[in-house]
Structure 1
């Protein structure tokens, strides 16, 4: 049996970390092979793997199976107060990250009983159903589902290109002032198909924010379900006695 070298996996992890911080290892750079690195540190491949697992959990490397291990930069933590109604677009931009999106579906469907109870509609009434993935610096951070009464937006989504903040789009194009929302926060199961779209790192956890948005007349304007990466978004609120 080969004798293990003097370096622990924690030392190896911290050494690679210091090389990243000092700029000796650049973002996007591929590390040498596992065999080469284990030989360099005079440790077993399993010990080196343990160090890489720690770095991966912290988002400092990305492992592409069958290709190799690459240096990565963890996204900034984005603080957001739950007391203020703020769009996802504004939250991402406030953190100096580049916002992007991938629209997955937008269509007119029949209102379900659940949506009807939330939006004051009859089951079967037409609603716009909108799904998309939001990104920050090219990395998926939010998956959103939105349900909007057709009577509020009409054919707006057919007539105008939409991207960015849904809240701002509705306010601008429909002359509707969204002033507040009722929100519920929960932790979705990891088996939830929408949650899985965001589980890109071992350390990623997801929160689900369900909201009904209202105008100044307390009329429900739209319903949203936002799956948010909890390793990126940090929600805060001030509680008082």
Structure 2
């Protein structure tokens, strides 16, 4: 599987984010200079190649280790866990849908984008922990894999979290994380996800192009920022037979 690399190498030492370092390292491990390696080079050498400080490097390595891609072992070095890096999709990692589809080897796309304001949904209000009738921005989309509907997702953002109302439906076409960063002026730090089986009703059947009653994976997700504030509630449905849903579990 091929991947498209971001333009990270031109960044200076001081403007590299941890996520960009993490992404570049993971790319190099999966597809780049370390794709055939068992271990990463020593920190000094690796930091020099990336053009970053050792402190920045350690932050990136810490995320890779937390995600299970590497293991740092005393007197041995930084070991690459190939049995983990070879997994194309994992539901325990917060990955944008389009990236998830691409990582699974498909061409991603988006259809059926619907944007509206809702005020009367008891379940949504309960999940967001806001009073009923409070305005909520609802963004529904179908994500495709090689043109085939793969994921139906409805994102809900409470209006009280939006800081900049100067947005248009065009601003909601990218993954919802971009809207949250640009118009809510915050970012997702973690989420709690309930995973359950679901049988497609007529609405889901039409959107995912599966028979009524077909098995569908349902993810019910509440996302928080670093201040423990609820920022997003997502209702997600995954068509069967397109993505492998794998979870990494580590012993502590």
* TM-score between both structures, scaled by the size of structure 2: 0.57
For 1:82 and 1:215, locate their aligned partners in 2 and report how far apart those are by CA, in whole Å.
19
CA pair 93-168 structure 1, distance change in 2 beyond 3 A? farther
More strand by share: 1
1:212 to 211, 222, 241: 222
Spell out, residue by residue over 1:32-66, the C-alpha distance to the aligned partner (whole angstroms, 9 max, x if none): xxxxxxxxxxxxxxxxxxxxxxxxxxxxxxxxxxx
1:105 to 114, 126, 150: 114
**Retained in 1: the 8 A contact 2:110–2:141?**
yes
For 1:222 and 1:181, locate their aligned partners in 2 and report how far apart those are by CA, in whole Å.
9
What residue ranges of structure 1 are gaps of 5+ in the alignment? 1-77
2:239 to 197, 209, 229: 229
For 1:186 and 1:167, locate their aligned partners in 2 and report how far apart those are by CA, in whole Å.
24
Structure scoring higher RCO (CA < 8 A, sep ≥ 6) equals 1
The Cα shift of 1:194 comes to: 1.6
For 1:142 and 1:122, locate their aligned partners in 2 and report how far apart those are by CA, in whole Å.
29
The Cα shift of 1:136 comes to: 1.6
For 1:155 and 1:195, locate their aligned partners in 2 and report how far apart those are by CA, in whole Å.
34
CA pair 158-180 structure 1, distance change in 2 beyond 3 A? same
What residue ranges of structure 2 are gaps of 5+ in the alignment? 1-86
For 2:94 and 2:169, locate their aligned partners in 1 and report how far apart those are by CA, in whole Å.
28
CA RMSD of aligned residues (A): 2.5
The Cα shift of 1:159 comes to: 6.8
The Cα shift of 1:221 comes to: 0.5
Residue 186 of structure 2 corresponds to residue 169 of structure 1: no
Partner of 1:57 in structure 2? none
For 2:248 and 2:141, locate their aligned partners in 1 and report how far apart those are by CA, in whole Å.
31
Query: Which contiguous aligned blocks of 4+ residues in structure 1 show a shift greater than 6 angstroms?
Result: none
1:117 to 120, 126, 129: 126
**Retained in 2: the 8 A contact 1:99–1:137?**
yes
* TM-score between both structures, scaled by the size of structure 1: 0.60
Q: Look at both structures and tell me which one has the larger radius of gyration over its CA atoms.
A: 1
**Retained in 2: the 8 A contact 1:111–1:122?**
no
Partner of 2:63 in structure 1? none
The Cα shift of 1:230 comes to: 2.7
